[in-house]
Chain A
């Protein structure tokens, strides 16, 4: 990638678009922090949470689940053939969580007080406290899990070897913390039974969020793999390329099963709460779109793709599943939330809110490219072949 530093390499169409997004993002950032939240959002007293929570936080955390899913299957469940997928997954998870926290600063009225719940005044009865505590801890865990890549790049062998010895413990921490905060993000809405549509409201919301985070993690590993193959193929070593197909089919198969189970428990929940009559309404139709188009369909496509050994089909299924996660989080936090308010009081994001979200996603991709082109993420460092 050294040629990227020359002038002709810098002004590629991709880089120009990235540059424009970053520039617009910088301007919106300036307005947000000088004029207030009201200047750049359509948030209101009835709709205190918009896409900065619905997308940046809820989807960001869910889609970064690839970290715990991959490292747990490789290190804890002994699926060593996914080893080459662990580093890219940990890297994206770390970046995902890091930028979730960055994005949160836009949404908070007092962003500088973000550490308050941890160090100053602990509101332990709040599920948001649990989310905050776990995300903060998990971000630290992810940083340590990811650090060997940077340490190998920097040539700090001794520290790197110490960190590598912690792998199993860190992975267990990661799963515990992920279970807690992935589910707590769903549990945030437990306190508002009157505001969330009964088809989505359930006392099992935390379980649904946790189970679907596994789907998100598995699917994102496949989806990110697709992107990385398109852009960073030359950075992958033989092991990575050789194992890539196994990862796609293995994770696809797992995702198919988890989605099927998720479909089942969601249906059970409708039965338990006896919400069948709502299925005949407009929200019911929308709920069925989510269930059949974005849970059942990807489950089927995954199964078909794995059986036919069709990489393209599995990749399509992964995109379908990822969109399904985004749809679900949007439904819970925005679309089916405040469903009984009149249309005039409902929320639709301001373009600058979308701008910030696009800005954050672009930042993640840019930093990922920076890391993956320099550090041993998609390949093993020749000096550290032992085990990373």
Chain B
């Protein structure tokens, strides 16, 4: 076995292994099972009833991710008066909500929710986003084309774009501190929170903790863990004492982003398969129609021609017959005329001869008489 053959065999083995792996995945998909997230993946529970709007999480995020220094310092709380969203330099922001009938404001932190089935990753046409087994959704800028479809797709308006960067503008968003989690550390914001409004842990545990809190503190919470099922479930989840709409969290539905597009994507092979058949059929039908029409036209022409020929022949025959008849008549007439003339001439001649003969006889007699 030479080297090339060995490599070929190795390659074939690799391909078949890969194929079987793909096949296994396909089988699960065909089984109509939904993806409930990676086992033992992490998440964060944000309890808005504990949040005091101190912006320490924003500061922590800024520091661990080495983002540019902010224009307004993090201890300046006047920025809370205006509603903000995440942008390319601020991967997390805290907003203040004045809720009717409540004597204190409610604060809610905002960052990437790290969906179990992320809209951004589903929408990205170069696979720049990855849902990692630790629960985080990360982004690889070296693949990014900068189309910003992820920003259109994200139901939480999280990804931000570096519009003012002329040559290498990239998407910016929270990574759930994926590199720090890999090192066994807490995300920057969670570590910075002084009120334990943020709880980091395995997502399954967090769901249990959230429901425990609701159960053991009657009246304190809405009976809803936002993010447990929203958009197919998110790694970040929220507890609130007021309806979630009041803290700027829309009702989302429980379908994950890919479920909205699966139908359209699934119809692609059908279009590719069916259209050529139908169109070739349409072409064949129109071709056939043309052919039939041409044949019919040809037949009609032939029939018309034949008829014309027949008619012409008939007319000719009649004319000929007529002519012949006329000719016959003329001949007969001429013959008759000639015969009549001949007869007449003969009669005349005969008469003349007889008259001559008679006079001669008479002459002889006369002579004779004269002689007598």
B164 at the interface (CB under 8 A from A): yes
Within 8 Å by CB of A190, from B88, B148, B170, B264, lies: B264
Within 8 Å by CB of A48, from B152, B267, B285, B289, lies: B152
Cα A387 to Cα B268 in complex, Å, equals 34
Contact with B along A193-217 (1 / 0, CB 8 A): 1110000000100100000000000
Q: Are B271 and A176 in contact (CB under 8 A)?
A: yes
Contacts of A127 in B (CB 8 A): 123, 261, 264-265
Within 8 Å by CB of A126, from B123, B157, B164, B268, lies: B123
Contact with A along B252-285 (1 / 0, CB 8 A): 1100011011011101100110011001101101
Cα A123 to Cα B250 in complex, Å, equals 28
Contacts of A117 in B (CB 8 A): 125-126, 145
Nearest Cβ on chain A to B152's Cβ, whole angstroms? 6
Q: A77-B286, A109-B144, A193-B260 are in contact. Are A188 and B275 (CB under 8 A)?
A: no
Within 8 Å by CB of A45, from B143, B161, B170, lies: B161
Q: Are B126 and A123 in contact (CB under 8 A)?
A: yes
A46 at the interface (CB under 8 A from B): yes
B186 at the interface (CB under 8 A from A): no
A-side binding surface: helix, strand, loop or mixed? helix
Q: Are B169 and A109 in contact (CB under 8 A)?
A: yes
Number of interface residues of B (CB under 8 A): 62
Contacts of A318 in B (CB 8 A): none
B53 at the interface (CB under 8 A from A): no
A1 at the interface (CB under 8 A from B): no
A174 nearest CB neighbor, chain B only: B279
Within 8 Å by CB of B271, from A49, A72, A180, lies: A180
Residues in A229-271 with C-beta less than 8 Å from chain B: none
Cα A378 to Cα B157 in complex, Å, equals 49
A384 at the interface (CB under 8 A from B): no
A49 nearest CB neighbor, chain B only: B152
Cα A168 to Cα B279 in complex, Å, equals 10
Contacts of B167 in A (CB 8 A): 36
Contacts of B145 in A (CB 8 A): 108-110, 113-114, 116-117
Contacts of A35 in B (CB 8 A): 164, 166
Q: Are B264 and A116 in contact (CB under 8 A)?
A: no
Q: Are A109 and B271 in contact (CB under 8 A)?
A: no
Contacts of A38 in B (CB 8 A): 163-164
Q: Are A128 and B123 in contact (CB under 8 A)?
A: yes
B293 nearest CB neighbor, chain A only: A78
Cα A206 to Cα B121 in complex, Å, equals 21
B86 nearest CB neighbor, chain A only: A45
B143 nearest CB neighbor, chain A only: A121
Nearest Cβ on chain A to B287's Cβ, whole angstroms? 7
Cα A184 to Cα B267 in complex, Å, equals 11
Cα A109 to Cα B172 in complex, Å, equals 13
Cα A361 to Cα B333 in complex, Å, equals 95
Nearest Cβ on chain B to A74's Cβ, whole angstroms? 10
Contact with A along B119-133 (1 / 0, CB 8 A): 101111111100000
B363 at the interface (CB under 8 A from A): no
Residues in A67-110 with C-beta less than 8 Å from chain B: 72, 75-78, 107-110
A328 at the interface (CB under 8 A from B): no
A130 at the interface (CB under 8 A from B): yes
Q: A123-B127, A126-B122, A194-B250 are in contact. Are A172 and B279 (CB under 8 A)?
A: yes
Q: Are B153 and A36 in contact (CB under 8 A)?
A: no
A72 nearest CB neighbor, chain B only: B279
Q: Are A193 and B127 in contact (CB under 8 A)?
A: no
Contact with A along B284-300 (1 / 0, CB 8 A): 01110110000000000
B160 at the interface (CB under 8 A from A): yes
A39 at the interface (CB under 8 A from B): yes
- The 7 A-B pairs at the shortest CB distance, nearest first, are namely A109-B146, A78-B286, A38-B163, A48-B148, A36-B166, A48-B151, A187-B264
- By a beta-carbon cutoff of 8 Å, the part of chain A in contact with chain B is 33-39, 41, 43-46, 48-49, 72, 75-78, 107-111, 113-114, 116-117, 120-123, 125-130, 132, 168, 171-172, 175-176, 179-180, 183-184, 187-195, 203, 206, 340
- By a beta-carbon cutoff of 8 Å, the part of chain B in contact with chain A is 85-88, 119, 121-128, 143-149, 151-153, 155, 157, 159-170, 250, 252-253, 257-258, 260-261, 263-265, 267-268, 271-272, 275-276, 279-280, 282-283, 285-287, 289-290
